[in-house]
Structure 1
Amino acid sequence: MPSDAASPVLEDVLPDGARVLFCGTAAGTVSARVGAPYAGPGNAFWPTLHAVGLLPGRLAPTAFRRAGEHGVALTDLDKHASGSDAEIGAAGFDPDAVAAKVRACRAPVVAYTSKTAGSTALGRPVAYGRQPERIAGAEVWVLPSPSGRARRFWDAGPWHALADRVRELAPAVLCAPDKLRGACDAAGAARALADGARDAGGWALELPVADGGEGTLQAFVDGGHADPVAVRARDAHGREGDARIAVLRGPGAAPAADVATAEADPGPTGDRADGAVEADRGPTGDEAPGAVGADRGPTGDRADGAVEADRGPTGDGAGPTVLVEAAEAIALAAIPEDERHVGRASSAGVGDLVRAALDLGASRILVAVGGSASIDGGAGFLRALGVDAPADGAALVADPTAVDASLAGLDPRLAHVALELLHDVDAPLCGPDGAARRFGPQKGAGPDEVEAHDAALARWAATLGGDPDAPGSGAAGGLGFALRAVGATARPGAEAVLDLVGFDRLARFADLVVTAEGSVDASTLQGKTVDAVVRRATATGTRCVVAGGRVEDDAAAELQRRGADRVQAIGPADRPLATALAAAPGELREAARTATTELRRP
């Protein structure tokens, strides 16, 4: 019904740089009552946006504001009335206001969600599909109404055609890089890539990712997937200081009804034939509020394969999932080069972090290892959790058998926790490719120390039992082996991170994935972030472009064999390191701009 209220019945959603602006006539009766768009019974709007690929999942009407995160803008011709067309009339329709909103959000397409809306705005009878006029520079489309009252006249064809055109004009670009060490962290790299995609008219989604090593926790926090918690922990040399763990976001922290449970194509659920009365319609309102959504990534929808943060090891919702990053406590980068000493270094600080997670009531603890300063086989970690074990690398070398192999004294709370090891390398514990020989020199170990630690790690494995060759056992100086000894399951870190942030769903939604890292080389192909992104984007059928600070030809060729559309260095190789680091953000931006421009077909 018409209203004299100064405020609108429902708020608009007008994201800057929107891909498409949907405009109906006015809020439907149900939408006005619940304060959410498209909330009327049987309305096809939300399931259709997902079915045609304009949303990565089906949003419930009450989560309508999140549509803006994916470039979908919403408004009405009459913002101050509600009800059916017959009830509200056309006196309050304001096409000029709609044109102003098109300019404000810079949408390349405005789509009227009924013939009534389209004919009123254009001042003439209309057919479905693209119209010859433009409004504020935007293409104009008219679509069959999604209203449940018009379901017998529903035709999804024009909606699919619109979605195809939106993808041509404003392709969705998923920016999923790792850090470029020394130049920018993963969030900074994602931001630079996103700026480039937007420069070229794309709709960018920023998804900083990691491989389970240093920077993993920050990538989760920056991507909105976790909340940091300040704790105290020892560093690699035993000095207590500030550190962080992070509580992953999940069902317990999710706003109610963000995601509807059904996601299939709605079929003929909706629209009006010529002249039919349209109630409960407009960008204000259709589908009844859906069920409370499960784990959400940056999509507002359940992410395929995502870990549900509130579930315990049996899925009973006993407590949160907590992310622990070894480098938050015992980072090699935190120890000056002239102070690095593998004998003095200990993994005890990671035990401190795990105890802090237990104090939070965690029922699932993910331990991301990598970037550590120690090679103590995880002995310090076990000692911090109550096991009689060597305190540091020197004590391990002195007597690798000085451990209670029964693990008596281990914090009993661990028996009720699902513990997971996220490893960034597949290295075994000992041997030519093991923790000491492969990583010891960069941690300050001389040749004799490397040999001594390698021999000690072999005896340590024999004493504790377990498989020293299991993938990830040599990660973080053998911390991976100790984690396995206390019951942790192991996963490649990059794969686990992509699952946790809902990468696959976003990649299916996107028209292009752009990823990056500092150096694309042989190590990239061993389960690092870029390799995982390429393989999984390819599996979803989405094109993927790789940018690297430096790129080795053999690695680039193999990534292309695995599905990458293009692998490119972002700048010339023959320049000073400081120059390359300073230029990296701008060059990432240019790489994404070029890739997006090639994708667009105006």
Structure 2
Amino acid sequence: MTHSAAPPVVIAIDSFKGSIRAADAAHAIAEGWRSVEPGREIILCPMADGGEGTLEAFAAAIPGAQQMSSWLLLPATHDAPNGTGVVELASTSGIELLGTPPKLRPWDADTRGFGEAIAAALTHGVSRLILGIGSSASTDGGAGMLTALGAHFTDAAGRPIAPGARGLATVAHVHLQNLAPLPPGGVTVLTDVTSPLLGERGAAAVFGPQKGATPGDIPLLDTALARYADLLEVDPDSPGAGAAGGTGFGLLAWGAHLVPGAPAVAQLIDLPARLAAASLVITGEGSFDASSAAGKTVAYVQDLATTHGVPVALVAGHVAADVPRSGLLDWVSLTDLAGSSARALAEPARWLRNAGSLLARRLNG
């Protein structure tokens, strides 16, 4: 039996890292639900925190969003009359672009591609920018990005520095007179990383190994970043300066504003208002474990739903046995559905569709 007049179901799910992106996961769950209850309105609000899938999250949730060559144009609004440009580091300078498995280049990878996409959005004339800076491949402090936006970095002899962290080891002068101005509505940077640029909690020490840096590389990378930081009028201890291999620092130098990713995405895709009118929200991620309650997207969606008095169902690739499920109306583990994690990972869309239909049957029974 269908209930076309029932309040909508909102699907606000994160990506299943290494398996399926948030937008595709949301579509699959919706297909499964509609196979049981075709008349129910389902609102897709795939979530992201600034990393891979951020562009897709906006594209799926905001009507009229237009994919440009390397960035996304959101429609004009009262506070952004020429539209908003969304640029994702993951799809322009991200580690996923280095192949599978990635051919890591800890000293030479840079953020120039990210900067070129930002420059393209500025040339288009957008009123404001939203930048997601997760999944970076480099530790260049955002120097490649700033170069693409008009900055010029040289060594002691006045020669342009090499790309990547290698160039930071020789940088002696910075020229910002030709740096592109911020758009009228400013630049908002989405990141859940609060690390400083330097030191044991900094970009090199914490994230360098993910980008291929050896234990011997770490102090050298940190020294190179410190040399670079001395040339820019930004506090390297600023929260988020170490995000994306120091790209957060470079964006602060440009004048951008860093904010926590998941709450900002939720506001920009109007998730609070959508939840206020919903009868159920389905959220989830690849692995629901103890870290899920420590500020991840799923915890944020749960808290927001609780504020609006909306019940929450969870879909996850794996649900840890020791994690409290209080506050959840229902939950589904894809591993349990598929019979093994390997089978769930091999066909995530299939098992997400099954999860959607299972929830529809249970919650409409």
**TM-score range relative to shorter protein:** 0.7 to 0.9
1:480 alignment counterpart: 248
Which SS does the other structure have where 1:398 is aligned? coil
Distance, in Å, in 1 between the alignment partners of 2:222 and 2:299 is 30
Provide the C-alpha distance between the structure 2 equivalents of 1:567 and 1:434, rounded to a whole number of angstroms: 37
Distance 2:151 2:72 in 1: 25
**Are the counterparts in 2 of residues 213 and 424 from structure 1 also a CA contact under 8 Å?**
no
Q: When the two structures are superposed, what TM-score results if normalisation uses the length of structure 1?
A: 0.54
**1:78-117 deviation per Cα after TM superposition (whole angstroms, max 9, x unaligned):** xxxxxxxxxxxxxxxxxxxxxxxxxxxxxxxxxxxxxxxx
Match of 1:397? Answer: 169
**Structure (1 or 2) with the larger CA radius of gyration:** 1
In structure 1, how many angstroms separate the alpha carbons of the residues matched to 2:183 and 2:281? 40
Q: 2: CA distance between counterparts of 1:19 and 1:368?
A: 38
Give 1:464's aligned amino acid: L
Quick one: structure 1 residues 428 and 464, their matched pair in 2 at CA, closer, same or farther if it must change by over 3 Å? same
Residue 572 of structure 1: how far off its partner (Å): 3.9
Asked whether the equivalents of residues 176 and 206 of structure 1 are also in contact (C-alpha less than 8 Å), the reply is yes
Runs in 1 of length 4+ with deviation above 6 angstroms? 573-576
Q: Distance between the aligned counterparts of 2:26 and 2:142, measured in 1?
A: 34
Q: Given the superposition, is the C-alpha separation of residues 589 and 573 from structure 1 closer, same or farther in structure 2, using an over 3 Å criterion?
A: closer
Tell me the distance in 1 between the aligned counterparts of 2:35 and 2:57.
Answer: 24
Match of 1:109 in 2: none
Cα pair distance change 1:452/1:445, threshold 3 Å:
same
* Aligned: 1:547 with 2:315: yes
Give the gaps of 5 or more residues in structure 1: 1-16, 21-165, 231-243, 251-307
Q: Deviations over 1:352-411 (max 9, x none)?
A: 111101110112011111111111111111122122225321011334x5434xx33212
Aligned to 2:42: 204
Q: Is the 8 A contact 2:126 2:183 kept in 1?
A: no
For 2:301 and 2:208, the matched residues in 1 are separated by: 29
1:197–1:203 Cα contact (<8 Å) kept:
no
Superposition RMSD in Å: 2.7
In the superposition, relative to structure 1, how do residues 246 and 587 fare at CA in structure 2: closer, same or farther (>3 Å)?
same
For the residues of structure 2 that align with 1:338 and 1:371, how far apart are their CA atoms?
12
Counterpart in the other structure of 1:188: 24
Structure 2 unaligned blocks of 5 or more: 154-160
Residue 5 of structure 1 aligns with which residue? Answer: none
1:213 aligns with 2:213: no
- Partner residue, 1:591: 355
Match of 1:326, as an amino acid? L
One-letter amino acid matched to 1:425? V
Indicate the SS of the match to 2:174.
Answer: coil
CA distance in 1, matches of 2:319, 2:43: 25
When residues 455 and 534 of structure 1 are mapped into structure 2, their CA distance, relative to the original with a 3 A threshold, is farther
Give the residue type in structure 1 aligned to 2:349: P
Identity of aligned residues (%): 38
Shift of 1:469: 3.5
The equivalent position to 1:360 in structure 2, one of 124, 143, 149, is 124
Tell me the amino acid that sits aligned with residue 74 of structure 2: L
Matches within 5 A, 1:229-308: 229-230=68-69, 244-250=70-76, 308=77
1:267 aligned partner: none
Q: Equivalent residues in 2 for 1:42-53 (5 A)?
A: none
**Distance 1:547-1:395 versus aligned 2 partners, 3 A rule:** same
Contact 1:311/1:321, CA 8 A, preserved across alignment: no
Alignment-mate amino acid for residue 8 of structure 2: A
Aligned to 2:177: 408
1:203 and 1:482 mapped to 2: Cα distance? 43
User: Separation in 2 of the partners of 1:574 and 1:176?
Assistant: 22
1:227 maps to amino acid: Q
What is residue 226 of structure 2 aligned with on the other side? 458
Q: Tell me which amino acid in the other structure corresponds to 1:397.
A: A
Aligned length: 353
What amino acid is aligned across from residue 23 of structure 2 in structure 1?
A
SS at 1:323 equivalent = strand
- Separation in structure 1 between the aligned mates of residue 307 and residue 251 of structure 2, nearest angstrom: 31
3-state DSSP of counterpart to 2:307: helix
Question: Which is worse superposed, 586-595 or 181-190?
Answer: 586-595
Cα distance in 2 between the residues matched to 1:521 and 1:335: 29
Greater shift in the superposed pair: 389-398 or 319-328: 389-398
Which residue is 2:190 aligned to?
422
Q: Secondary structure at the match of 1:377?
A: coil
Higher relative contact order, chain-length normalized (CA < 8 Å, sep 6+) = 2
Matching residue of 1:176: 12
Deviation at 1:542, TM superposition (A): 0.5
